[in-house]
């Protein structure tokens, strides 16, 4: 079952119970939707975890959560292993050692691989209440979501005090946040084709851009915000501002929306990327930002996947743009040996799956067989180490010449189109890159 829908249902139950018990009417903070290391194998679709806030007692909260999970999660499915963790609301405050451990755990869940034993160790230290179904793996994501909240809170505190200036040190990995307004379908429609008025989505997307992004893919004519899975989501609108996301969601004409929730999320932030100094420090199961030189002419292989090789003094790695990345493959095909670029993507089986790349410098000339200045014909080899010679007039040339090459790329960042974007990958239109950008929309 869709993680965000379970979370939304839980949030509603918690709020209902809070209303019974207290009357100050302050709204709960927005729920937090965190995407963890996309390279982890055992995961929910998109490796998502959610953190919710409640004024209820932890034991009561856990019991409410348990009832909803029992009802909604497909707990008999061996691949479904939900987990719940309840942390006190001092999460975020510096000076509480436990919070450092939980934040470190969340970073590891974002950047590396964790075991159930890792989660149990931190739960043991903090004394947080937890509950799990199946093999208990869900507690990893649940604990990481608490840690992500700590990171966010610390980043906000650092911003507010404006004295520390070291956002990365305080909230590292969880400093950049975006929003997603998710609209859910009526239960009786789950699994049936979604009724969404296509033109209204393009119109709303255009209105909201660039604050709201990845709503549609204009070139592929695809409604990116509408999922294809039989899940309860009707559409999810992503962007930098919660109100702008809600406005776009509200402007989409469709079947009735059963309910709606706006999440704070690390989607579209590149939070998963490690900066690697050299190619020999790149390892499977993690995602990187790393520089190098193109070693081989890109090659389109069976299935339409485009492969090339990136090299530096320390080694080499194969890079691939898969068929679903569509027009991005033309950008990769336009690269050539000698080009210096920076690539971003996840590494598995020794291959980096390209999410974006930056052209740092392009090779503008190549060594070529000379052309005869008189006949304008390609010369031919005059024999080993004998230089070149025109067959028609006999003009000779001592060696190959530098010839200018036409290039179809410019300096700066290129990215996969919205239809192929991974949840956590940052769209170029969001800005903050170290070179000019060529955003896809
Ligand atoms: Zn000639």
Residue 440 lies in a domain: no
Domain total of the chain:
4
Whether residues 136 and 196 fall in one domain: no
**Residue 424 is part of which domain span?**
273-364+406-430
Whether residues 297 and 342 fall in one domain: yes
Whether residues 27 and 107 fall in one domain: yes
Could you tell me the CATH number of the domain that includes residue 321?
A: 2.40.50.1010
Distance from the alpha carbon of residue 373 to the mean position of ligand 1, in angstroms:
7
Whether residues 219 and 288 fall in one domain: no
Residue 316 gets which letter from DSSP?
Answer: E
Could you tell me the CATH number of the domain that includes residue 17?
A: 3.30.70.2200
Q: Would you state the pLDDT for residue 167?
A: 47
Distance from the alpha carbon of residue 377 to the mean position of ligand 1, in angstroms:
6
Distance from the alpha carbon of residue 398 to the mean position of ligand 1, in angstroms:
14
Condensed to tens digits (0 to 9), the pLDDT of residues 21-43 reads: 655 666 677 899 999 988 776 54
Give CA–CA dist 209/418, Å, rounded: 13
Contact 149, 128 (CB under 8 A): no
Residue 340 lies in a domain: yes
Residue 196 lies in a domain: yes
Q: Is pLDDT above 70 for 55?
A: yes
Whether residues 229 and 336 fall in one domain: no
Condensed to tens digits (0 to 9), the pLDDT of residues 216-254 reads: 999 999 999 999 888 899 999 999 999 999 999 999 999
Residue 65 lies in a domain: yes
Contact 7, 66 (CB under 8 A): no
Residue 120 lies in a domain: yes
- The alpha carbon of residue 150 and the mean position of all alpha carbons in its chain are separated, in whole angstroms, by 20
Whether residues 95 and 110 fall in one domain: yes
Distance from the alpha carbon of residue 404 to the mean position of ligand 1, in angstroms:
21
Give strand pairing partners of 293: 311, 340
Residue 21 burial (CB < 10 Å; 0-12/13-18/19+)? exposed
Q: What is the pTM for the complete model shown?
A: 0.90
Distance from the alpha carbon of residue 396 to the mean position of ligand 1, in angstroms:
9
Distance from the alpha carbon of residue 405 to the mean position of ligand 1, in angstroms:
23
Residue 32 lies in a domain: yes
Q: Is pLDDT above 60 for 164?
A: no
47 backbone φψ class: left, alpha, beta (φ>0; ψ -120 to 50): left
Residue 317 lies in a domain: yes
Condensed to tens digits (0 to 9), the pLDDT of residues 290-310 reads: 999 999 999 999 999 999 999
Distance from the alpha carbon of residue 399 to the mean position of ligand 1, in angstroms:
16
Could you tell me the CATH number of the domain that includes residue 210?
A: 3.90.600.20
Distance from the alpha carbon of residue 363 to the mean position of ligand 1, in angstroms:
29
Whether residues 12 and 155 fall in one domain: yes
Distance from the alpha carbon of residue 394 to the mean position of ligand 1, in angstroms:
6
Q: Would you state the pLDDT for residue 91?
A: 63
Reduced to 3 states, what is the DSSP secondary structure of residue 107?
Answer: helix
Q: Is pLDDT above 90 for 163?
A: no
Whether residues 255 and 239 fall in one domain: yes
Residue 137 lies in a domain: yes
- Torsion sign (Cα): 316, 173, 45, 428: negative
Distance from the alpha carbon of residue 380 to the mean position of ligand 1, in angstroms:
10
Whether residues 245 and 303 fall in one domain: no
Whether residues 133 and 209 fall in one domain: no
Condensed to tens digits (0 to 9), the pLDDT of residues 345-363 reads: 999 999 999 999 999 999 9
Beta strand 437-438 pairing with 365-368: unpaired
Distance from the alpha carbon of residue 82 to the mean position of ligand 1, in angstroms:
77
Distance from the alpha carbon of residue 370 to the mean position of ligand 1, in angstroms:
11
Distance from the alpha carbon of residue 249 to the mean position of ligand 1, in angstroms:
68
Mean pLDDT of 109-125: 93
Whether residues 160 and 220 fall in one domain: no
Q: How confident is the model at residue 162 (pLDDT cuts 50, 70, 90)?
A: low
Whether residues 34 and 137 fall in one domain: yes
Distance from the alpha carbon of residue 406 to the mean position of ligand 1, in angstroms:
25
Q: Is pLDDT above 90 for 97?
A: no
Q: Is pLDDT above 60 for 116?
A: yes
Phi, psi of 119 (to 5 degrees): -65, -40
Pick the closest to residue 422 from 6, 39, 142, 82 (CA basis).
39
| Mean residue pLDDT across the chain | 90
Give CA–CA dist 333/408, Å, rounded: 10
């Amino acid at each position: 079952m869709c993680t965000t829908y379970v979370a939304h249902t839980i949030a509603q139950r918690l709020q209902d119970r809070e209303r019974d018990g207290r009357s100050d009417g302050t709204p709960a903070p927005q729920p937090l939707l965190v995407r963890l290391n996309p390279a982890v194998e055992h995961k929910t679709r998109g490796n998502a975890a959610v953190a919710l806030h409640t004024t209820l007692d932890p034991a009561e909260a856990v019991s409410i959560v348990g009832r909803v999970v029992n009802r909604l999660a497909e707990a008999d499915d061996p691949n479904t292993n939900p987990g719940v963790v309840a942390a006190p609301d001092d999460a975020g405050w510096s000076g509480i050692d436990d919070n450092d451990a939980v934040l470190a755990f969340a970073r590891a869940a974002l950047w590396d691989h964790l075991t159930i034993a890792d989660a149990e160790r931190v739960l043991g230290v903090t004394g947080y209440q937890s509950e799990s179904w199946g093999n208990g793996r869900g507690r990893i994501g649940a604990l990481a979501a608490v840690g992500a909240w700590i990171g966010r809170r610390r980043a906000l505190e650092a911003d507010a005090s404006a004295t520390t200036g070291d956002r990365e040190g305080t909230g590292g990995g969880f400093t950049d946040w975006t929003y997603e307004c998710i609209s859910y379908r009526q239960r009786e429609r789950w699994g049936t084709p979604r009724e969404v008025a296509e033109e209204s989505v393009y119109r709303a997307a255009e209105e909201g851009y660039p604050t709201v992004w990845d709503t549609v893919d204009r070139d592929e004519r695809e409604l990116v915000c509408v999922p294809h899975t039989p899940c309860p989501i009707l559409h999810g609108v992503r962007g930098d501002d919660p109100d702008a996301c809600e406005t776009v969601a509200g402007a989409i004409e469709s079947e009735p929306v059963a309910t709606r929730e706006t999440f704070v999320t690390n989607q579209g932030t590149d939070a998963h990327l490690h900066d690697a100094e050299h190619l020999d420090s790149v390892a499977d199961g993690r995602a990187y930002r790393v520089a190098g030189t193109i070693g081989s002419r890109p090659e389109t292989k069976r299935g339409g996947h485009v492969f090339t090789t990136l090299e530096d003094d320390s080694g080499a790695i194969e890079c691939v743009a898969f068929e679903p990345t569509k027009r991005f493959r033309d950008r990769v095909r336009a690269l050539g040996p000698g080009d210096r670029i920076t690539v971003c993507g996840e590494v598995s089986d020794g291959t980096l799956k390209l999410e974006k790349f930056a052209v740092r410098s392009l090779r503008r000339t190549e060594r070529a067989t000379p052309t005869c200045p008189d006949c304008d014909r390609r010369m031919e080899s005059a024999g080993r180490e004998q230089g070149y010679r025109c067959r028609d007039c006999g003009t000779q040339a001592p060696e190959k010449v530098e010839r200018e090459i036409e290039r179809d790329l410019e300096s700066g960042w290129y990215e996969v189109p919205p239809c192929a974007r991974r949840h956590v990958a940052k769209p170029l239109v969001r800005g903050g890159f170290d070179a000019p950008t060529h955003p896809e929309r």
